[in-house]
């Protein structure tokens, strides 16, 4: 808890110190010149705005002075002006504001007072002299005017007037007096009633204000409608009189009459600037300093710079936008606070980094110094110091260099070993980012350093669920260091994949910590091939053993049953007293002998086929003439068993080139098998079809179906489908094995399909075009001849 508090306080320190410095600078006014410069820049960026069209300036300009004579003029000129403006009531202005001080009497004061009285809408100016005494209009003029207003202003150090007091000893400024008079005679305008400063929102360049030359007005060269129901401001604009700088007119400056014009414009448009108070500025940025410090701390230096630039740019844009809306907020203070805080945090981070590096180097030095071969000077070697004391900076750098050389030598040695290993090694952190990969792992996984390991492992090697589960176990197996091992197959190769946590000892706590994991890949294809070969050999031995058992079981049964019948027939012959009985017992002997002979012949034929000693004599066979006699021999049997036997031969079949005895044996075995397993009233159909490559001979029978699980084994020797002989017809299980061998010998294919109450055996034999160019005859010796 204490460490966390100290770390948080350390992070807040740069921003807090920066905020304190800027608060002091703000209180002392040291930032005021910069803020004043920002004030002018904001006006330039915002650009000029249109002056209020209710305001018109009659300028005592250089041209008027040239025509009317040296200034100041006699009162007669202003009498002419007022008479011109008030000649017609319909076109008279709402208010006439004269920005001139008439504090000295003149012989023409009476005439001027009469002109002011006839206009009844004239506002006169007043001021103070250098000693502070008021400069008021002469009584006659003051009494005739509708109001008076002061023209006092305060200029800042840069020559700009930014604020004006609306009241001075309860006397309104000339602009406010003009607005008040306009409210009385023309239209109501919301005006301030309490003494408060007005922050001037300059509209634009002085030349953009609607204005006319004094001489042009009194000479009647300006239409009277130009002043109808407007506030007419009369004042000096000639060069050299009462200079005034504005954000838009600094070189050359204008005259003070434009200040009063700006005040009237702000009051009419209600758009005076609203500055943020000093107290709020101080409070906000005192809080912003620590907040900015928290935001920038523990970030990369480039990120700190980008954030600082982004915040500065954002504040600049926000300041301009607020200024456009009429709010003046500090610009230099936040920009400076942001920049200085960034520098302070950068310096603070570097100081912390240097401290941590020195402590880390010292701890590494104490642990690994014994492994160094490099000889160091005694001044650098030094004595061990307390863990919380830092060595000198130069000593720390030298020790770091020695340790770096040691680690580089160790790392290059380990890298060389890893490159030459036949197993793949890959290291990654718990986020899955690869930071080491030897050539074998890179080749097998197609992985690269810096990429995500999951992209190469999931799902080609392991599933997503296995990957997540392994990561969780690796994070929790720091103490036990249990390996996650699994075997994976990639195409025709097998690999053993091991995941093992990478554990190192924390220097501060002397406890183990897992910082990632190691992936070990080993090609175990040879081992798996040996295992597969052993499995095949075991399976073959089991098959041979099962075949032997089936052979002994079948042969013993098939041999014992006829012998039992033969013995019984011989005994019955001994006691037979009639010729019919004798013939019947002799027939039994003959049938059982034939049964024994068939079994022996089947075994011999199968042995010859497996040994490759079967004679193969290809000849042309006309199936249309050859097949019917063979099936005719089964007709009586089918009729006896109440079965129907059909044959389907297409017309004009070409000759089939094949071995006739072998083909006959195939047909006889398949039809015999069909008769055996077809129930009464069942149907047996033998058909021949011709395709581009094959003669297809099909034997289909209804009745018992062969389960799908048993179909792959029906062509094995001695195999009989369990519970597939409800009629107890018996058999040796050699017929279909012989058929399969014979079909292979003839270069054909045999398949079986069973379902929907039917079982169909299909034999495909190649046509003439598919026969080999030369026929061969397999001899008993295993050689071949044309």
pLDDT tens readout for residues 750-762: 888 888 888 898 9
Q: What is the Cα–Cα distance from 351 to 289, expressed in whole angstroms?
A: 20
Same domain as 566, residue 549:
yes
Q: 692-706 pLDDT, tens per residue?
A: 888 889 999 887 778
Same domain as 719, residue 648:
yes
Picking from 255, 272, 289, the residue at the C-terminal end of a domain is 272
Token output for 392: 């000198």
478 vs 281, higher pLDDT: 281
Quick one: CA torsion of 391, 394, 397, 402, rounded to 10 degrees? -90
* Burial class of residue 108, CB neighbours in 10 A (0-12, 13-18, 19+): middle
Would you say residue 626 has pLDDT above 50? yes
Parent domain of 579: 530-605
Same domain as 735, residue 699:
yes
User: Residue 776's pLDDT band (boundaries 50, 70, 90)?
Assistant: very low
Picking from 324, 354, 384, the residue at the C-terminal end of a domain is 354
**53-78 burial, b if ≥16 CB within 10 A, otherwise e?**
ebbbbbbbbeebbeebeeeeeebebb
Percent of the chain at pLDDT > 90 equals 12
Task: Please count the structural domains in the chain.
Answer: 5
Answer yes or no: is 189 within a domain. yes
Same domain as 104, residue 6:
no
Which position has the token pair 């007096």?
177
Would you say residue 330 has pLDDT above 50? yes
- Which CATH number fits the domain that encloses residue 654? 3.30.565.10
CB under 8 Å, gap of 24 or more: what pairs does 310-319 form?
A: 311/338, 312/338, 312/339, 319/38, 319/42
Conformation bin of residue 619: beta by default, left when phi > 0, alpha when psi is -120 to 50? beta
Answer yes or no: is 489 within a domain. yes
Mean pLDDT, residues 610-624 taken together: 75
**129-157 burial, b if ≥16 CB within 10 A, otherwise e?**
eeeeeeebbbebbbebbbbbbbbebeeee
Answer yes or no: is 733 within a domain. yes
Same domain as 244, residue 218:
yes
Same domain as 733, residue 668:
yes
Same domain as 628, residue 589:
no
Answer yes or no: is 373 within a domain. no
User: If we measure between CA atoms, which residue out of 77, 75, 124 comes closest to residue 101?
Assistant: 124
User: If we measure between CA atoms, which residue out of 123, 172, 182 comes closest to residue 150?
Assistant: 172
Mean pLDDT, residues 25-48 taken together: 78
Same domain as 653, residue 713:
yes
Answer yes or no: is 225 within a domain. yes
Contacts with 43 (C-beta within 8 Å, 6 or more apart), sequence order: 202, 247, 248
Q: Are 749 and 740 in contact (CB under 8 A)?
A: no
Same domain as 508, residue 620:
no
Same domain as 257, residue 179:
yes
Answer yes or no: is 778 within a domain. yes
Answer yes or no: is 711 within a domain. yes
Same domain as 746, residue 706:
yes
Token output for 618: 């290809």
Q: 346-387 pLDDT, tens per residue?
A: 777 777 777 777 777 777 767 666 665 555 555 445 544 444
pLDDT of 154: 84
Q: What is the Cα–Cα distance from 662 to 765, expressed in whole angstroms?
A: 12
Answer yes or no: is 399 within a domain. no
Q: What is the mean pLDDT of the chain?
A: 78
- Which CATH number fits the domain that encloses residue 458? 3.30.450.20
State the CB neighbour count (10 A cutoff) for residue 181.
Answer: 22
pLDDT of 778: 36
Percent of the chain at pLDDT > 70 equals 76
Q: Is-cis flag, bond preceding 252, omega within 30?
A: yes
Contacts with 72 (C-beta within 8 Å, 6 or more apart), sequence order: none
Same domain as 203, residue 61:
yes
């Amino acid at each position: 808890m204490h460490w966390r508090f100290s770390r948080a306080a350390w992070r807040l320190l740069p921003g807090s110190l920066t905020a304190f410095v800027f608060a002091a600078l703000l209180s002392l006014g040291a930032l005021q010149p910069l803020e004043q410069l920002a004030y002018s820049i904001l006006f330039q960026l915002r650009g000029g705005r249109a002056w209020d069209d209710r305001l018109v300036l009659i300028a005592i300009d250089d041209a008027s002075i040239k025509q009317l004579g040296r200034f100041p003029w006699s009162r007669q000129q202003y009498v002419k002006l007022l008479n011109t403006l008030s000649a017609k009531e319909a076109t008279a202005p709402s208010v006439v504001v004269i920005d001139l001080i008439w504090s000295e009497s003149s012989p023409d004061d009476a005439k001027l007072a009469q002109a002011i009285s006839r206009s009844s809408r004239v506002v006169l100016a007043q001021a103070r002299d250098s000693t502070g005494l008021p400069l008021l209009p002469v009584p006659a003029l003051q009494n005739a005017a509708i109001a008076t207003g002061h023209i006092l202003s305060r200029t800042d150090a840069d020559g700009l007037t930014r604020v004006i007091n609306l009241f001075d000893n309860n006397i309104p400024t000339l602009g406010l007096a003009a607005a008040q008079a306009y409210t009385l005679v023309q239209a109501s305008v919301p005006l301030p009633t309490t003494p408060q400063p007005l922050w001037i929102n300059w509209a634009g360049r002085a030349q953009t204000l609607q204005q006319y030359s004094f001489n042009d007005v009194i000479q009647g060269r300006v239409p009277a409608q130009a002043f109808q129901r407007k506030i007419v401001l009369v004042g000096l604009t000639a060069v050299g009189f009462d200079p005034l700088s504005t954000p838009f007119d600094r070189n050359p400056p204008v005259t003070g009459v434009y200040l009063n014009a700006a005040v009237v414009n702000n009051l009419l448009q209600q758009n005076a600037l609203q500055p943020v108070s000093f107290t709020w500025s101080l409070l906000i940025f005192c809080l912003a300093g620590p907040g900015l410090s928290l935001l920038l701390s523990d970030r990369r230096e480039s990120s700190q710079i980008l954030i600082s630039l982004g915040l500065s740019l954002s504040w600049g844009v926000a300041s301009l936008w607020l200024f456009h809306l009429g709010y003046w907020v500090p610009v230099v203070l936040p920009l400076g606070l942001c920049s200085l805080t960034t520098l302070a945090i950068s310096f603070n981070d570097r100081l912390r980094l240097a401290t941590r590096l020195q402590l880390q180097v010292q701890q590494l030095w104490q642990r690994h110094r014994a492994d160094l071969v490099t000889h160091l000077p005694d001044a650098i070697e030094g004595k061990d110091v307390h863990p919380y004391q830092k060595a000198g900076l130069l000593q720390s750098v030298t020790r770091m260099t020695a340790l770096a050389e040691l680690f580089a030598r160790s790392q290059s040695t380990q890298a060389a070993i890893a490159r030459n290993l036949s197993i793949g090694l890959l290291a990654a952190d718990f986020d899955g980012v690869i930071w080491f990969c030897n050539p074998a792992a890179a080749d097998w996984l197609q992985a690269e350093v810096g990429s995500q390991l999951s992209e190469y492992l999931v799902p080609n090697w392991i599933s997503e669920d296995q990957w997540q589960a392994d990561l969780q176990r690796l994070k929790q197996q720091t103490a036990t260091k249990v390996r996650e091992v699994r075997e994976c197959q990639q195409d025709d190769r097998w690999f053993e994949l091991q995941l093992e946590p990478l554990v190192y000892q924390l220097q501060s706590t002397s406890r183990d910590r897992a910082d990632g994991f190691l992936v070990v890949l080993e090609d175990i294809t040879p081992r798996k091939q040996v295992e597969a070969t052993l499995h095949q050999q075991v399976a073959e031995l089991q098959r041979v053993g099962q075949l032997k058992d089936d052979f002994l079981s079948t042969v013993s049964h098939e041999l014992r049953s006829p012998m039992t019948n033969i013995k019984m027939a011989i005994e019955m012959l001994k006691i037979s007293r009639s010729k019919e009985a004798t013939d019947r017992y002799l027939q039994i002997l003959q049938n059982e002998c034939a049964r024994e002979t068939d079994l022996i012949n089947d075994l011999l034929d199968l042995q010859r086929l497996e040994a490759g000693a079967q004679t193969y004599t290809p000849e042309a066979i006309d199936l249309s003439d050859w097949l019917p006699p063979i099936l005719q021999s089964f007709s009586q049997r089918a009729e006896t068993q109440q079965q129907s036997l059909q044959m389907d031969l297409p017309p004009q079949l070409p000759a089939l080139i094949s071995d006739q005895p072998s083909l006959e044996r195939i047909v006889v075995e398949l039809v015999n098998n069909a008769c055996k397993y077809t129930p009464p009233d069942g149907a047996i159909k033998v058909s021949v079809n011709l395709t581009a490559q094959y003669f297809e001979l099909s034997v289909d029978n209804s009745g018992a179906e062969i389960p799908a699980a048993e179909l792959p084994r029906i062509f094995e020797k001695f195999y009989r489908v369990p519970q597939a002989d409800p009629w107890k017809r018996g058999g040796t299980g050699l017929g279909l094995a012989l058929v399969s061998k014979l079909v292979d010998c003839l270069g054909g294919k045999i398949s079986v399909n069973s379902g929907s109450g039917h079982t169909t055996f299909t034999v495909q034999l190649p046509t003439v075009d598919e026969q080999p160019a030369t026929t061969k005859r397999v001899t008993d010796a295993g050689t071949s001849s044309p």
